[in-house]
Chains A and B, each alone.
Chain A
Amino acid sequence: MTDILARLEGVSRTYQKGKERVEVLHNLDLQIPQGDFIAIMGPSGSGKTTLLNLIGGLDRPTAGTINVGGAELTSMSNSKVSHWRSTHIGFIFQFYNLLPVLTAQKNVELPLLLTSFNAKERAERAAIALDIVGLADRARHYPRELSGGEEQRVAIARAIVSDPSLLLCDEPTGDLDRETADEILRLMQILNREHGKTIIMVTHDAQAAEFANRTLHCDKGTLEAREAA
């Protein structure tokens, strides 16, 4: 029997937009097994990113419960969720979101500032993460000195440096050309298959979704499963 890493039960998320209440997710149930690689597709405004934010503890549901890795997010305080996130979740964004004032190495070290590792240990771990993504030789470069694909690799290194069990990726290849996008997706496959990372990836790109084990379609606040070809 496969272990369930994330379990969402009856999750709804409603936003107040002016005088109007908009329900982005409606009574959603979802189970994500440990080691899975899921792509979530759907039109803009369908609730894909909201779902990702809820699983990552960046947002809270209006109703329902979310349990990730045994942690009941809906009942935890903000500060506890922050701390939990630093050790259990790695985030990868469409626009990389690296800090421009820090080198690749220092960007990767950022999540480790929240741990008890000393400077030497942080540097060693960041170097390993950069090596995994194939950027060991670019450690001292600033984001402005890197290509888009390299920036995203640094962002991936930052996401995995704390050895989280779950990677949440929001359009990770949305800003890259096809060839670079495929390189990034292959890297994510390696992280999934060889390093055991569970990955949830939101994407508009059907070709990107093909790299996942399965694809969920999000529309009007509900999810529909479609197995990958």
Chain B
Amino acid sequence: MKYFGLVWRNAWRKKIRTSLTILSVFVAFLLFALLSAFGHAFKYGVEAADAERLIIIDKISLINLLPIAYQNRIKATEGVHSVTHSTWFGGYYQEPRNQFPQFPVDPHEYFAMYPEFKMPEEQFEAWVKNRTGAVVGRELADSFGWEVGDRIPIQATIWTKADGGRTWEFDIEGIFASDDPRGSSALFLFQYDYFDEARAFGQGLVGWYILRVERGADPVQVQNAIDTQFENSRNQTETSTEAAFAQSFAKQFGNIALIVTLILGAVFFTLLLVSGNTMSQSVRERISELAVLKTLGFGDRTVLGIVLSESILIMLIGGLLGIGVGWFVTRGIAVAAGAFLPGVYFSPTAILASIALMVGAGVAAGIFPALQAMRLSIIDALARA
């Protein structure tokens, strides 16, 4: 700590140069925070997946629907504990940009399948009794200011009503929350029976099935048993774990992890060049001063430490500012867009990783100039001064 004053003063020797370097570090780590938070959104479904839940979709495409008649056959399969279904409704609230997941479901089956969703018993009962009732996740209710008792019109983009209308109106009977911090409750759930009766087409069809395997049963065997069962049916099935399903769903948007890695790789490579150049210039400019320090008795390692600390300090200033602003921005995005893109989260793990990255980048950018300073010959350097 006693060298901090010296390190600090040296770091600000050229204020404009240091400020620009810090700005580039700031931008790099702001980007890191944002991409990390968005990356989390794309993989959070995988993290929150339940190992005992399997998803069954049409083998050809998720868009193809499956007959409701499959449910009993699936339930009768060995190793299956329970099964329910869901369907993509794909509507919006007021404006097309207000899109969020809306699913027609069987209330009892669905909430039994997702025990992490909690809501007051009386609200659940009220929903079951009201065919046009709906329940919404807390995140969704908060983002639109909905409360129990509100009547919410949802504009259909796929499912027109039998009377030709596109507006489906639902009464909010309850608000549920997820007690799994990794998961999202930004869902709008309503009764399948009402949906099936009122839609203009597709009666007796569902989007996908969700099943829970019996405790101790082998999920792979259950997967194979189900897919084999429907091998010769009109709609062949593809069964996968919830995690694999979430992963393949996320991949529809491209390989997010690879894109994020490539962008950050390019950004940090450039950052190392910029900050490495700054440190090299800084050391070159004060060769004689470093020689004076050595003359005064500063050892080789102390000089190495001083130069390296300077490089790390610059990274930490820019980096901490970057992730600080990034944290506020991602919090803002999570609140404003949590319903449409749940899981935007700059996690503590990512914060720790970014701090480690700052120190690592500081060492990488400063190590060669620092070694140059350490190996400096006092005689040669003073003679050159």
Residues in chain B near residue A114, CB distance under 8 A: 296-298, 302
**Of B2, B292, B298, which one neighbours A82 at CB under 8 angstroms?**
B298
* In contact, A113 and B295 (Cβ under 8 angstroms): no
Task: Flag the segment in B4-12, B194-202, B207-215 that touches A.
Answer: B4-12
Residues in chain A near residue B289, CB distance under 8 A: 97, 99-100
Cβ of B11 to closest chain A Cβ, rounded Å? 9
B300 at the interface (CB under 8 A from A): yes
**Of B3, B301, B379, which one neighbours A113 at CB under 8 angstroms?**
B3
Compute how far the CA of A76 lies from the CA of B11 in the bound complex, rounded to whole angstroms. Answer: 34
Which B residue sits closest to A82, measured CB to CB?
B299
A79 at the interface (CB under 8 A from B): yes
**Of B9, B299, B379, which one neighbours A102 at CB under 8 angstroms?**
B9
Q: A97-B289, A97-B292 are in contact. Are A83 and B299 (CB under 8 A)?
A: yes
* In contact, B294 and A82 (Cβ under 8 angstroms): yes
Cβ of B305 to closest chain A Cβ, rounded Å? 12
**Of A95, A100, A111, which one neighbours B297 at CB under 8 angstroms?**
A111
* In contact, B298 and A95 (Cβ under 8 angstroms): no
* In contact, A95 and B296 (Cβ under 8 angstroms): no
A43-75 residues at the B interface, CB under 8 angstroms: 53, 56, 58-59
B13 at the interface (CB under 8 A from A): yes
Q: A79-B300, A110-B296 are in contact. Are A101 and B379 (CB under 8 A)?
A: no
Compute how far the CA of A93 lies from the CA of B295 in the bound complex, rounded to whole angstroms. Answer: 11
Which B residue sits closest to A114, measured CB to CB?
B297
Residues in chain A near residue B12, CB distance under 8 A: 101
* In contact, A99 and B292 (Cβ under 8 angstroms): yes
Which B residue sits closest to A98, measured CB to CB?
B292
A222 at the interface (CB under 8 A from B): no
Residues in chain B near residue A56, CB distance under 8 A: 295
Instruction: Name the prevailing secondary structure of the A interface residues.
Output: helix
Residues in chain B near residue A83, CB distance under 8 A: 297, 299
Please, what's the 1-or-0 string for B272-290, where 1 marks a CB less than 8 Å from any CB in chain A? 0000000000000000110
B378 at the interface (CB under 8 A from A): yes
Chain B interface residue count, CB cutoff 8 Å, equals 25
* In contact, B297 and A85 (Cβ under 8 angstroms): yes
Which A residue sits closest to B383, measured CB to CB?
A49
Please, what's the 1-or-0 string for B89-109, where 1 marks a CB less than 8 Å from any CB in chain A? 000000000000000000000
Residues in chain B near residue A79, CB distance under 8 A: 299-301
Please, what's the 1-or-0 string for B293-323, where 1 marks a CB less than 8 Å from any CB in chain A? 1111111111000000000000000000000
Residues in chain B near residue A102, CB distance under 8 A: 6, 9
B69 at the interface (CB under 8 A from A): no
Q: A86-B297, A114-B298 are in contact. Are A97 and B9 (CB under 8 A)?
A: no
A106 at the interface (CB under 8 A from B): yes
Q: A59-B379, A119-B2 are in contact. Are A101 and B10 (CB under 8 A)?
A: yes
* In contact, A91 and B9 (Cβ under 8 angstroms): no
Residues in chain B near residue A53, CB distance under 8 A: 378-379
* In contact, A113 and B6 (Cβ under 8 angstroms): yes
Q: A59-B379, A97-B385 are in contact. Are A82 and B297 (CB under 8 A)?
A: yes
Compute how far the CA of A209 lies from the CA of B55 in the bound complex, rounded to whole angstroms. Answer: 95
**Of A85, A101, A119, which one neighbours B9 at CB under 8 angstroms?**
A101
A189 at the interface (CB under 8 A from B): no
* In contact, A58 and B292 (Cβ under 8 angstroms): no
Residues in chain A near residue B294, CB distance under 8 A: 82
Task: Give me 21 A-to-B residue pairs in the complex whose CB atoms sit less than 8 angstroms apart, sorted by A's number.
Answer: A56-B295, A58-B295, A58-B379, A59-B378, A79-B301, A82-B298, A83-B297, A83-B299, A86-B298, A97-B288, A97-B289, A97-B292, A99-B9, A102-B6, A106-B6, A106-B9, A110-B293, A111-B296, A111-B297, A113-B3, A158-B296
Residues of B within 8 A of A (CB): 2-3, 5-6, 9-10, 12-13, 288-289, 292-302, 378-379, 382, 385
In order of increasing CB-CB distance, the 10 nearest A-B pairs are A86-B297, A101-B9, A97-B292, A82-B299, A85-B297, A58-B378, A111-B296, A79-B299, A82-B297, A114-B297
Residues of A within 8 A of B (CB): 53, 56, 58-59, 78-79, 82-87, 91, 93, 95, 97, 99-102, 106, 110-111, 113-114, 119, 158
